[in-house]
A and B are shown apart, each in its own frame.
Chain A
Amino acid sequence: MSPRARIALLVLAGLVLLPGTGAVIAGLPPFGSTIAQYGERINAITPQVRHVANMVSAINFDLRGLDTLGEEFMLLAAITGTVVLLRGRRGEGNTERAMRRPGRAVIPRSDTVVLVCRIAGPLTALFGLYVVLHATVTPGGGFQGGVILASATLLIYLGEGYAGWRDTVRSHWLDAMEGGGALLFTLCGLAPMLTGAAFMQNVLPLGTFRDVFSGGLMLVENLGVALAVTGGFTQLFLEFMEETRAADEPDEPGEESA
């Protein structure tokens, strides 16, 4: 396509799309003016019927739990795809040990960095756990806590070096966490059906309002999401890091097909 045709297409598309976009933007409620009706209903109903203080978690894991199940599998598929793509060339065999590019110097870490990482790492992990466990009480939840936990493992990498990180983080465990989390979430949907309830109906005791143990089935689903996200994100980091190292390994044709 020639540049002139491209610009013509752009102008044409703009002419078609701009009026609609303008109309939609003009129709939006003014900035910060009202809470939407749906939000008001949720705020009014949820504390009574679900004993949950964090409405976002209530929507994510209960009222619209099916959407989150879809997102869960989206994440699983995305990470599986990335892992297959990055791991495809070198196969599965060499992910067990830490690799180092032959030409790259190992920069010694200063004591300060090691100390700060050793202090901040466990604290970050603790905060991640807190965010995961208090999903139904305070802002946050399985996804946010999971990402914080995954970044806590990165502080190990920063403080102890790549080999130390690989000793801590096991690739197979991450696979199990990622898949197991998604499985746990699915089982949370299917298990209520055994008792005759609907898919993902909240059959567990709901607990006390504003307590860690509130929300019933949401807590289990939240745990599943946390497992999947922690495993998935750490796996993603691991595969990216491994990719920067394995690239230089001699590729043997026989190994590649295996």
Chain B
Amino acid sequence: MTLILPLLFLLTAVSGTAVVLVRDPARQIFAIAVNGLVLAILFDALQAPDVALSELAVGAAAVPLLFLVALMAVRTRPPEEKS
């Protein structure tokens, strides 16, 4: 346990920074999903399974999906005008 927690904190920091540093919105969404997944594992390691389950469902699945759909709405316009 002593090794797992610092490792998970490090992973959280790394994946959180990755969300900011990744510039392409489509990849950024997957970075957010990975960050949510890491957070869910961290919460589980800290013995908060209820919060982990919420984070997993909302942070790693629902929110990235909404972003993906919203991005799809923004993206489809330019290629259509070109063709």
Interface contact A147-B62, CB-CB below 8 Å: yes
- A150 and B62 in contact, given A240-B69, A243-B73 (Cβ under 8 angstroms): yes
Contact with B along A6-40 (1 / 0, CB 8 A): 00000000000000000000000000100000000
Q: Does B3 contact A (CB under 8 A)?
A: no
Interface contact A143-B54, CB-CB below 8 Å: yes
Interface contact A147-B61, CB-CB below 8 Å: yes
Q: Does A154 contact B (CB under 8 A)?
A: yes
Expressed in whole angstroms, the minimum distance between the Cβ of B27 and any Cβ of chain A is 20
Interface contact B73-A244, CB-CB below 8 Å: yes
Interface contact B66-A140, CB-CB below 8 Å: no
Bound CA span A104–B83, Å: 11
Interface contact A148-B50, CB-CB below 8 Å: no
Expressed in whole angstroms, the minimum distance between the Cβ of B19 and any Cβ of chain A is 21
* Interface residue tally for chain A (C-beta within 8 Å): 26
Interface contact A140-B62, CB-CB below 8 Å: no
Considering only residues 133-164 of chain A, those with a C-beta below 8 Å from chain B are 139-141, 143-144, 147-148, 150-151, 154
Bound CA span A43–B41, Å: 24
Interface residues of B (CB under 8 A from A): 46, 49-50, 52-54, 57-58, 61-62, 65-66, 69-70, 72-73, 76-77, 80, 83
Beyond A243-B73, A244-B69, 20 additional pairs, beta carbon < 8 A:
A101-B76, A103-B80, A104-B80, A131-B53, A139-B52, A141-B50, A143-B54, A144-B50, A147-B57, A147-B61, A147-B62, A151-B57, A151-B65, A154-B65, A237-B65, A237-B66, A237-B69, A241-B69, A244-B72, A247-B73
